[in-house]
Chain A
Amino acid sequence: KAGVTQTPRYLIKTRGQQVTLSCSPISGHRSVSWYQQTPGQGLQFLFEYFSETQRNKGNFPGRFSGRQFSNSRSEMNVSTLELGDSALYLCASRPGQGISYEQYFGPGTRLTVT
């Protein structure tokens, strides 16, 4: 079974622009979560989607948004990019929302804002 895939793998944007990142979960997985990883802050939870609905959200400004499609694929959007948004953005999927389900992470998208 194919793993979680994320596109693009690397991205360079300019401050003030917006960006859209894509995540395809493992086949059959309906829950998708997004995380931001930076050297200073470590891994931080952004939000989770299940059945096209945002189920939980971390402490990030409204510039960070996402959505999930009927095929469980998910996109994350960051508007008005800031230098501090440079990070590795990770997507994780799991079969459902039950507490014992484990997450499977993708390789991430490395975003650099200049």
Chain B
Amino acid sequence: DAKTTQPPSMDCAEGRAANLPCNHSTISGNEYVYWYRQIHSQGPQYIIHGLKNNETNEMASLIITEDRKSSTLILPHATLRDTAVYYCIVRVGYNFNKFYFGSGTKLNVKP
């Protein structure tokens, strides 16, 4: 089962882009990459997911390398409210919901 590796923490200045990396070198062809975030004491919040193409929504952009062994979540204009733990997750299986959550990256957005 594919696992993920993320840096434990990152800092970002308010208004600047936050680029959060994730390594998933053992990912297999039918596994998606998901990103969630968790603000202190709340349930995780879905951000974005992708298979091989880059994806963008109103919250963020997801860049997946061509070999799919790593990805980057981009928050284009970070605000103080984006301070949270960000989880990169690889989905296992087809009709299963067996997400493996790693330790995540604590993003600190500073004024």
Chain A positions near chain B (C-beta within 8 angstroms):
4, 31, 33, 35, 42-45, 48, 55-56, 58, 90, 92, 94, 97-100, 102-108
Chain B positions near chain A (C-beta within 8 angstroms):
30, 32, 34, 36, 42-46, 49, 87, 91, 93-104
Q: Are A43 and B101 in contact (CB under 8 A)?
A: yes
- Identity of the chain A residue whose Cβ is nearest the Cβ of B87 in the assembled complex: A43
Known pairs A55-B96, A56-B96; A103 contacts B46 (CB<8 A): yes
Give bound CA distance, A51 to B103, whole Å. 31
Partner of B43, one of A42, A90, A100: A90
Give bound CA distance, A14 to B98, whole Å. 30
Partner of A42, one of B45, B93, B96, B102: B102
Partner of A99, one of B36, B42, B87, B95: B95
Give bound CA distance, A105 to B107, whole Å. 20
B-side contacts of A97, CB under 8 Å: 95-97
Q: Are A105 and B43 in contact (CB under 8 A)?
A: yes
Known pairs A99-B91, A105-B45; A42 contacts B104 (CB<8 A): yes
A-side contacts of B34, CB under 8 Å: 102
Partner of B97, one of A42, A48, A106, A108: A48
Q: Are B46 and A48 in contact (CB under 8 A)?
A: no
B-side contacts of A100, CB under 8 Å: 32, 49
